[in-house]
């Protein structure tokens, strides 16, 4: 059973780098649009009896890229692939993992059901916004983390001197703790209050940040408003400027770039789970991490060793 990699239009550059890291060619597929806007998909190579991996983050435009992924999976299933693995570096709809008000859908669960329905056997993702999304699936989910990528970069740049790792909220506390342990640094957390789906405020800082450089780690930066308010709260608590902001997924909509241009932010570091069209930020590659996960899945080795 051979490894076969295919991708849609979400992030072909990342898919090519994953293929290079694995030492396999990227499969040929037609992923286009009909004149009325419907997605058109056709695999241009046989996948009968193969272990197929579809590398496709569901990044903006989320619905287009999700539909491409679903149709690629359906095409692989109808072409008699032995296994279909959805490699989704950024899992869109992950923030809609519960009902925050009455009469709302649980959209993340719906996406999980759609992936299973079209024949996906396994999902590989990086830093799900809500880890409990793994429980929305009745198929295996390998949940990777970018923490080791950030830890290695911070050490290389010498940012660990007189520093403190900061979680932007309770939801990211576990990832921040793991980063702090890798670096041998103290941990702090921002107490955040949510006023609606788009509005948050930082009420206070938990932990000692006075006289230290904060290393602020998050999973998603969307508008960057939470980051800006977090930076201001850290400065008010006596933290040093030159704050390093890290996030796995650079969604970057609205006023994100303005918020990330705060003068107290020394560097912004993202991974390449979502393609960044403009420069100005440090981008760490996830290609080797994804390639290792694919290799371990294909050879029935443990993936938890990569976390």
Q: State pLDDT tens for residues 135-192.
A: 999 999 999 999 999 999 999 999 999 999 999 988 889 999 999 999 999 999 998 7
Q: Which of 35, 51, 92, 38 is nearest to 219 (CA)?
A: 92
Question: How high is the pLDDT of residue 200?
Answer: 61
Catalytic residue IDs: 192
Check pLDDT > 60 for residue 197: no
Question: How high is the pLDDT of residue 285?
Answer: 97
Check pLDDT > 90 for residue 113: yes
Q: What is the distance, to the nearest Å, from the Cα of residue 299 to the centroid of all Cα atoms in its chain?
A: 24
The pTM is what?
0.94
Question: How high is the pLDDT of residue 199?
Answer: 58
Show the tokens assigned to 114.
Answer: 């759609």
Largest Cα separation within the chain, whole Å, is 61
**pLDDT band at residue 307, thresholds of 50, 70 and 90?**
confident
Distance separating alpha carbons of residues 277 and 29, to the nearest angstrom? 24
Return the number of other C-beta atoms located less than 10 Å from residue 98's C-beta: 12
**pLDDT band at residue 305, thresholds of 50, 70 and 90?**
confident
Question: How high is the pLDDT of residue 203?
Answer: 62
Q: State pLDDT tens for residues 69-104.
A: 999 999 999 999 999 999 999 999 999 999 988 899
Task: For residues 123-140, give the mean pLDDT.
Answer: 95
Q: State pLDDT tens for residues 1-53.
A: 899 999 999 999 999 999 999 999 999 999 999 999 999 999 999 999 999 99
Same CATH topology for 3-145+287-306 and 147-284? yes
CATH class of 3-145+287-306: alpha beta
Confirm if 233 and 204 have CB atoms less than 8 A apart: yes
Distance separating alpha carbons of residues 289 and 27, to the nearest angstrom? 20
Task: For residues 192-211, give the mean pLDDT.
Answer: 73
Fold classification of 147-284 (topology level): Rossmann fold (3.40.50)
Distance separating alpha carbons of residues 184 and 287, to the nearest angstrom? 27
**Average pLDDT for the chain:** 94
Question: How high is the pLDDT of residue 170?
Answer: 84
Question: How high is the pLDDT of residue 196?
Answer: 54
Which segments of 60-216 does DSSP mark as H helices, in order? 62-78, 107-117, 147-157, 173-183
Q: When comparing pLDDT for 221 and 279, which is higher?
A: 221
Q: Which of 69, 211, 80, 86 is nearest to 139 (CA)?
A: 86
Domain ranges within the chain, ordered by starting residue: 3-145+287-306, 147-284
CA distances from 117 to 6, 95, 120 (A): 19, 21, 7
Show the tokens assigned to 128.
Answer: 């799900």
Distance separating alpha carbons of residues 50 and 66, to the nearest angstrom? 23
Question: How high is the pLDDT of residue 193?
Answer: 65
């Amino acid at each position: 059973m051979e490894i076969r990699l295919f991708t849609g239009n979400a992030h072909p550059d990342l898919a090519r780098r994953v293929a290079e890291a694995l030492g396999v060619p990227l499969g040929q597929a037609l992923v286009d649009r009909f004149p009325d806007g419907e997605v058109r998909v056709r695999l241009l190579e046989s996948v009968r009896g193969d272990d197929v991996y579809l590398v496709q983050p569901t990044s903006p435009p989320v619905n287009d890229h999700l539909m491409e992924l679903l149709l690629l999976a359906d095409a692989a299933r109808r072409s008699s692939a032995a296994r279909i693995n959805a490699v989704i570096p950024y899992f869109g709809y992950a923030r809609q993992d519960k009902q925050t008000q009455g009469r709302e859908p649980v959209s993340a669960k719906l996406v999980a059901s759609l992936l299973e329905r079209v024949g996906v056997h396994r999902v590989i993702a990086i830093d799900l916004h809500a880890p409990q999304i793994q429980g929305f699936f009745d198929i295996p989910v390998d949940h990777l983390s970018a923490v080791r990528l950030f830890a290695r970069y911070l050490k290389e740049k010498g940012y660990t001197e007189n520093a403190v790792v900061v979680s932007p909220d309770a939801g990211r506390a576990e990832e921040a703790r793991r980063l702090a342990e890798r670096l041998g640094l103290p941990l702090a957390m921002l107490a955040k209050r949510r006023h609606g789906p788009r509005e948050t405020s930082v009420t206070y800082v938990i932990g000692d940040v006075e006289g230290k450089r904060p290393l602020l780690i998050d999973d998603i930066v969307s508008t960057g408003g939470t980051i800006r308010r977090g930076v201001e709260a850290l400065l008010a608590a006596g933290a040093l400027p030159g704050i390093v902001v890290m996030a796995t997924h650079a969604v970057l909509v609205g006023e994100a770039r303005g918020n990330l241009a705060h003068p107290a932010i020394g560097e912004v570091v993202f991974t390449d789970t979502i393609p960044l069209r403009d420069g100005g930020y440090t981008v760490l590659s996830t290609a080797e991490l994804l390639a290792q996960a694919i290799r371990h899945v294909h050879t029935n080795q443990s993936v938890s060793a990569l976390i």
